[in-house]
Amino acid sequence: MRHQRTPAREVTDAAQLSAAVHGGAADIVIRGVIGCRGPLGLGPGQSLRGADDEAALMFRRGGLVLTRNNRIANLSLRSGPHDLAVSLEAGPEDRGTLDLADLRIEGRVQLIFGLRANQGRVRITRVALTAADATGEADRPWGNGVEVVLGAMTIWNRATARSCIDLEIDGLALGAPQAPVRGTGLFIAGAGDGAGGVVRAGALSVGPVYADSGLPPGTTHAAAGGVFILTDAEVDHLACAGPLVTHGANAVPVDNWGRTRLWTVTGDVISHGPSAIGVINAGHLGRLEIQGRVETFGQGARGCSIYGPTGALRLGALRTHGAAATGVQIVDRLESLEILDHLTSSGDPGEGLVKGVMVPMPADGVHIETSGDLGRLSVGRYAVTGRDALAVRNDGRLGDHGAG
């Protein structure tokens, strides 16, 4: 017997919306602006979409709660910045496909897959998240000596058994120059133990990103990022358009603890804050290409810190401002470092945060530490002027190098 497709159900007020959702309507069309007093949970297979660009849902508290095979499209979602504008209900082990498309969101998006999750797919297409604050979320993963503040957009597979969440992002903008999101911008993580859940992504297209860690100066136990790929997240190609800009202590615009084959940035990478390192790799990174400049403002705000094996790092230019703000710190294997224009540092010796511990250091141009290994070094020109600082300080292993 052939089943006829259920026609779309159009709603214009909260009562109609509630009746449609609780009545099991599969395709619900929002017309106009609808106010909701509290969270609204969708059943498996239900979708919400706007009739036009004026369609919006405004929540006094909470937001949309997804279950399985849900699609949200062509809507404005407005919650408080601390509220969850979009979240997941505890329950189904198989989430099917969760599809977020053409959305303008105020409030956090938090897709946390529970301990028994076994599979699911998340698709994010042309989403702009303009206001969110995750700094009050106490449940944070731990690694490399710090806990990580969750994101305005959080995708976290916490399953204890081996499972995979597939992720696609084609257009995600976070914050604005004068109104950054608070906490991490984009947060992608697996279980973190190497034996549980993973998040696997083919191509991710993100940017611009503006984020403020919300961490006060002197914080040593926590960190945040602009785009943060954590342990047990696997990314083939992460493409960032426009600038990645962070503010606040320990706020890292480009941070990889997972496995990323290729990461490209077409704009600048800029951080403002103590120990707000421009780029960190503490996982496995095949290649990072930043067409613009990496620039940091703050004590201990190194330009790049390489804590995990890295293939190639290619930057347009690099400049640090601040004591202990080394240009590039190399602790592990880096096959190739290429800076097309200048590498500039001007700070005096001081202290910077290294895996949860404040460590004294000068503001060298490049510092290869005792465990560091750099295969090839090419820098257009050095301008290293801080007290006791060297253009290249080699305490490890260095292959071919030169300037110009």
Give tens-digit pLDDT for 336-352.
999 999 999 999 999 88
Lowest mean pLDDT among 93-97, 111-115, 273-277, 353-357: 353-357
Cα separation values, 37 from 28, 103, 149, 244, Å: 19, 20, 28, 35
Mean pLDDT of the 129-141 span: 95
| DSSP string covering 8-44 | PEEE-SHHHHHHHHHTT-SEEEE-SEEEESS-EEPPT
Cα 176 from Cα 170, distance rounded (Å): 19
CA angle in degrees (0–180, nearest 5) for 317-312-211: 55
Q: How far apart are the first and last CA of the chain?
A: 74
Per-residue tokens: 133: 């604050």
* pLDDT for the residue 403: 53
pTM over 0.85, yes/no: yes
The pLDDT > 90 percentage for the chain reads 86
CA angle in degrees (0–180, nearest 5) for 284-307-184: 80
Taking only the tens place, the pLDDT of each residue in 297-316 is 999 999 999 999 999 999 99
**Does pLDDT of 5 surpass 60?**
no
**Does pLDDT of 4 surpass 50?**
no
Give the dihedral sign, CA 54/55/60/64.
negative
Cα separation values, 400 from 85, 287, 304, 379, 381, Å: 51, 19, 20, 12, 16
Per-residue tokens: 173: 């903008």
* Residue 185 CB neighbour total at 10 angstroms: 34
**Does pLDDT of 1 surpass 70?**
no
The two beta strands, 146-148 and 142-143, are antiparallel
* pLDDT for the residue 193: 82
* pLDDT for the residue 402: 60
Lowest mean pLDDT among 184-198, 216-230, 326-340: 184-198
